[in-house]
Homo-oligomer: A and B are copies of this chain.
C-alpha cells in the first residue's frame, strides 16, 4: 500500500468550488440569520452564519467529508485516524460513518463528555491521550503506520481547508440574496482552517469584504502572527473555556493563506464569551458553544465596530456541556 503523503500546497478557490460541488446535498446549507434585536443593539446589520446547525453541530463536517470523499477504495477499507478536542472528531466520525469507513479518533482526556459520547455515537473508536504530556501527532502517526490508515488532520490540509471554505461560498451567496455586501466577516480561529477557507471564498466572491479572526485571550496566536507577519507560537500554560480553540500556533498551510488575506485578529475574554452565549440563548434562541461564540462575543463587546456596517458573524459550533451552558444561563437577566 502506498503511504498517503499529505499535500502541503495551499488550496485555491477552484478547490473550494470543487468541494462545494462534492458536498452538495450531503451537508446542511446552514442559514444566514438576521435578528432585529441584534441589529438594533449593534446599530448595524448583522448576519449570523449558523454552522451550529450543520451535521454534528459544527462546520467540521464539511472539511472531513470533503477529505474522505477523495479517498481511494483501498484507503476507505484501511480506514482513517484523527485527533481532535471534539468537533473535528465528530466531523470525521460522522463523515466516515456516512461513507462506511472505519475511524479511530484520538481525543484529549479532558474533552467535553458530550463530544466524546457523540463521537462514539457516530460509530468511531475513541482513544484518549493526555493533552499536556503526550503528542497526539505521534500517536496518530503510529496508528496510521500500523493500520495503513489515512490521517485526517484537523486543519493543515488542502482538502480540509477547501471543505470549510464552502461555508464561505454559501455566506457570500446568501448575503447577496439578502441584498447585502458584508463589510466584515468574523470567524473563530484555532489552527485557522475555517477562516482560511472562508478567506479564499470571500476574496473571490466579495473582494471588498474584510475577514477577521476571533480568538480567546491566551490563545491569540493568529492575532499575534498577523501583526508579526509570521507564525508565532504561544507559550503553554494559558487556559480558556473555549475548548475548541486551543491551538498554540497557526497551521503552516492555513497561515500561508491567512497571512495576506486577513484584516486582523480580534481577542475576547472568557467572560465576554459567556455573555455572548447568554445573549444567544436569550435573544437569538441558539445554542452556541464557547469556541463558536467567540466571533459574536467580539462584536457584542465592541472589539470590532459594527455600527452602520454589515457584519457576518460565523457561529461555528454548538457542542457545549450542560454545566458550561448553565454558567452562561446565570448571566441571563429577564
Chain A interface residues (CB < 8 Å from chain B): 28, 31, 33-37, 50, 52-53, 55-57, 94, 98, 112-114, 116-117, 121, 281-288, 318-319, 321-322, 325-326, 329-330, 332, 334
Contact = CB atoms under 8 A, between A and B. Distances in A.
A35 to B, nearest CB: 7
Contact of A329 (B112, B121, B318, B322): B322
Contacts of A35: 28, 53, 55
Contacts of A98: 36
Contacts of A113: 334
A329 B36 CA distance: 27
Contacts of A117: 334
Contact of A332 (B36, B116, B322): B322
Contacts of A31: 31, 33, 50, 53
Given A28-B33, A326-B326, A329-B326, A281 B285 contact: no
5 contacts: A31-B31, A36-B98, A57-B283, A113-B334, A281-B322
Given A28-B35, A36-B56, 18 more contacts: A35-B55, A36-B98, A52-B285, A53-B284, A57-B283, A57-B285, A112-B334, A113-B334, A117-B334, A281-B287, A281-B322, A285-B286, A285-B287, A285-B318, A286-B287, A321-B334, A322-B330, A326-B326
